[in-house]
A = this chain, B = another copy of it.
């Protein structure tokens, strides 16, 4: 017998109690694993009325059904929490080697609650759980923390996820970083971890992971790798160049945010920020997460100038845009320095760059006083100021203390005139994927459960490269005609497709490229667990989790009225590329999307019929 119950390690830092808890098999049937299980557990553990950084707020790390197996990209870990930045569901996802280590230590899920009296490192091993005093490393960056932790721990093979000074100081877009530069990036998980006085989690596991059909899994994994490299985007771009290769295309397509989204392309930056320049200016090495044949990660070192010698993971495309085009900075060395610094201090580079770009516009408009800026010249184009702003924010020094609250809260403090420059949805800063010329991004940014979101799905890549995946049942004309009111034809199935890796513990880059088919993922899952699942069941589970997340956000007070975009897109016509002269017509786009999802047109929440169809209607009815 046995039963496919996941084992959750429940750690209360205040009491230093440790408990193992079996999760219901029904959850694994309905929500598959990874983020799905994390969100379901969050619903049980979170108190919607509690302060966003209250000690009891849970921080939930989850592995997926394929974690640590031979399936390609099976090294991803999800962290699920209530975001201190947005108040929405928080869900972030990192590669590296953390998730396989956790699973090998015997845990599918790790839940941390409570606030330690003094800084600690949580140590999870095959043999049990320990707490390591971390006073000495408090205040240190990610790299030094990993080094220090390894020096204190016996033996090798430790995987470490830690926070930097930004997380310690409650910067609301601080992150958790593992393997030095793989970030659980968005939504402020670092601040939540810091509020618990938890400096790092060190995990080591040596158990063999059971696979129901090892031979079948091997074959399925081979097929998956073949699908991956049959896709030109993976083979010819992602693998040899990584995400920085997107930059030139995004600018050409008119979806590269520039000068805090006042422009949608930045052709004059291609000679210094484009992917050819990237490989000339920086010393670049590829990096692979656990089990990944793509190795899209770039490790770079600055070769010259005042930041010469600084090195680390990235900058990825998003970071080049965040510290580059958004801030109109042409100096890739400054971009790379800001990136390396932000990674080490534990800042989400996407929010950090966007916050700085917004602050530059405030500065331009005289909304920030000289006193507030304290001598910092936050002008568009000033790369040195970007690097300094990163440092100030992470340490909550000077103007950094205000900006550490995120652009939406900072604007509230600055007054109504500050609002126009805030490029955020539900308080979450937008990433670097334009919406005027990428109609899919209109929907995904407006409706994503964690606020402005470029990854669920990465719609601009679909706009850019066209629709290819026949298994999703999208009508051919829907693929051709991507208009505001045509979204119902393709956004929903692509969103479900993009949810798959978050459930299996694999990488979105296999899916936003549409390289690995849903049926292939379903087959891998089946072989790993010995439980037959077909693509329809997997996609239905993904849809179920999408709706569960919508409902969890509803318990936090969010509904369709929060599905909006920054005013700039709704009122200011685009000035560059295909979006020139256009504003976003959000209403019909939302209406068609809600209809496709089976959400009520007014409140934007799943209808009773939809919840019933997905087996989630229990959320509506209470005996309590």
Contacts and interface: CB of A to CB of B under 8 A. Distances in A.
Interface of A: 1-7, 22, 24-30, 43-44, 65, 108, 210, 212, 529-532, 551, 554-555, 608, 612, 615, 617-624
Nearest to A63: B623
For the complex of A and B, list the 7 residue pairs with the smallest distance between their C-beta atoms, beginning with the closest. Answer: A2-B622, A25-B618, A531-B621, A4-B621, A4-B618, A29-B618, A26-B26
Contacts of A44: 22, 24
A387 to B, nearest CB: 45
A44 B7 CA distance: 12
11 contacts: A2-B622, A3-B43, A3-B618, A3-B621, A4-B618, A24-B26, A25-B618, A26-B615, A108-B623, A530-B620, A531-B617
A28 B618 contact: yes
A366 to B, nearest CB: 44
Contacts of A612: 532
A29 B555 contact: no
A555 B25 CA distance: 15
B30 A624 contact: no
A316 to B, nearest CB: 32
Contacts of A531: 617-618, 620-621
A623 B7 CA distance: 9
Contacts of A24: 24, 26-27, 44
The winner among A2, A6, A65, A623 for most chain B CB atoms within 10 A is A623
A558 to B, nearest CB: 12
A3 B619 contact: yes
Nearest to A555: B1
Given A4-B620, A22-B624, A26-B27, 14 more contacts: A1-B620, A2-B620, A3-B621, A4-B622, A4-B623, A4-B624, A5-B622, A25-B618, A26-B30, A28-B618, A210-B622, A529-B623, A531-B618, A532-B612
Contacts of A622: 1-5, 210
State the oligomeric state as a number of copies: 2
A397 B352 CA distance: 81
A25 B623 contact: no
A624 B7 contact: yes
Contacts of A210: 622-623
Nearest to A29: B618
A615 B29 contact: yes
A27 B29 CA distance: 12
A5 B621 CA distance: 9
Contacts of A530: 620-621
Given A22-B44, A24-B24, A26-B618, A2 B624 contact: yes
A22 B253 CA distance: 51
A608 B529 CA distance: 14
A6 B108 contact: no
A554 B1 contact: yes
Contact of A621 (B43, B529, B620): B529
Given A22-B44, A30-B26, A532-B612, A5 B624 contact: yes
Contacts of A1: 551, 554-555, 619-620, 622
A26 B618 CA distance: 7
B619 A25 contact: yes
A22 B624 CA distance: 10
A392 B44 CA distance: 51
Q: Which of A22, A28, A108, A622 counts the most chain B CB atoms within 10 A?
A: A622
Contacts of A30: 26
Contact of A2 (B3, B28, B621): B621
